[in-house]
Structure 1
């Protein structure tokens, strides 16, 4: 984990640029949501301040949750052939990648999540939990969201062992995560069966659920159980995929 933190801390200028970009887009999104909620008060059970808070929370999640995909070096190592060495090492490839990814998430939380949130609080005002229990629940929910995000991205990255070009999978992952995580709009606004489906998929555990825990819009036990289920499910699938990769791997260039 420390290695992942130090590696990403070396690119502080990129993190600063990302924080600035997240802040700018957060301001633009906030004005759109303010206009929407003023025309439809109480939409989705949120008021205007909740909507603005949700906006800047989701902007803050982009870096740590790696919402747009990537963040893992597996596809590059598969193309170079280095994955063959990774798979024969006694250490678990999945746990090694998870440890590094947690270090990355911690650094990006400090470098890319905190500045946009502070900017949102100063410019618009945001909801702040008033008790330690909510903060603790949010911390656990945030960590589980990072693990769910890793579990999904690990599966997408490891699929490069069997496909010749991972770009299509990466684009598909980005589209699904952006749409179904609640990054663009709260999933409670999705109508009928689409909303029910979206709230039951793993991507909701990355953005929508941690935001609702912070805002107090969901039961904590149920929310954490939902995230834990998807974290264990995706990690389990990743372990099975890693075992399969040890038996048959298509290596490009190695």
Structure 2
């Protein structure tokens, strides 16, 4: 276990060095967050039927989506992809560590460090600066301390789901040439059905059972709805169970595919 923790720690510290990219991303995400809020406010103003989420909750939902944007697994681990392309993955097999555990540890750091670099400044901006400039457009604090604590637990669960999806994408590189197809499908699905484009409660009623059965809802939608108070703290165990089940399922699938890939692995050259 200490070996995996060392990998997480080392890569986490390395990724924290990209502060300039985080700063530019902060301004970009703030802009798109304001644009999305503007669109949703216009939608709410023109709506003549009851909406499933109140406007302040939707506003907070948008800011939380922008703050945790990098949890979306848009692509596989580039270092792992390069190892597979060059054949250097055989050196990873000589390490006294489980290969899947090694890749999962790398994905865990990759899905947390960039998020922390942007999330904390985004919270300060959305909670303090935006309400001063545009009242009603900011991120309201959670309803209670208990809600915030449970949101932290759900955020950790979201990181695990995202890391499991990222590792699964890396494993599929053993069967693909370019390696872009599976990450594109998963990234698109996570963007659309995770709540980043449209809050999931605004989807048609007939598709919501399908959307909430997917792993993507546990990465952005469910934790965000808990934070804003749209879901009470009584829903927290169900959210954590959803995340745990999908994490275990994705890890089991990734391990099975990796074991099959290693059995078929052939490295050409000297």
Q: Could you say whether these structures have the same fold, taking a TM-score greater than 0.5 normalized by the shorter chain as the test? A: yes
Q: 1:19 aligns with which of 6, 20, 26?
A: 26
Matched, 1:190 2:203: yes
CA contact (8 A) 1:154 1:238 kept: yes
TM-score by structure 1 length?
0.90
Alpha-carbon displacement from aligned partner over 1:211-231 (angstroms, at most 9, x marks no partner): 122123331111111111111
Deviation at 1:93, TM superposition (A): 2.1
Q: Which residue of 2 aligns with 1:148?
A: 161
CA shift for structure 1 position 7: 1.4
> Conserved in 2, the CA contact under 8 Å of 1:61 and 1:67?
no
What is the aligned residue count? Answer: 253
Match of 1:69 among 50, 67, 75: 75
| Whole-Å separation in 1 of the counterparts to 2:194 and 2:151 | 17
The answer for the alignment partner of 2:61 in structure 1 is 54
Give the superposition deviation at 1:71.
4.5
210-219 vs 227-236, which moves further: 210-219
- Cα distance in 2 for residues equivalent to 1:83 and 1:172: 25
Deviations 1:61-84 (A, max 9, x none): 112x14433455321211111112
Is it true that 1:245 corresponds to 2:252 in the alignment?
A: no
State the 1:242 CA deviation.
Answer: 2.0
1:212 aligned partner: 225
Q: CA separation in 2, counterparts of 1:49 and 1:38?
A: 13
Structure 1 pair 37/213, CA: closer, same or farther in 2 (3 Å)?
Answer: same
Q: C-alpha distance in 2, partners of 1:230/1:96? A: 20
1:81-160 superposed matches below 5 A: 81-121=87-127, 122-123=129-130, 124-160=137-173
Asked if the contact 1:134–1:213 (Cα under 8 Å) also holds between the matched residues in 2, the reply is yes
Deviation at 1:252, TM superposition (A): 7.9
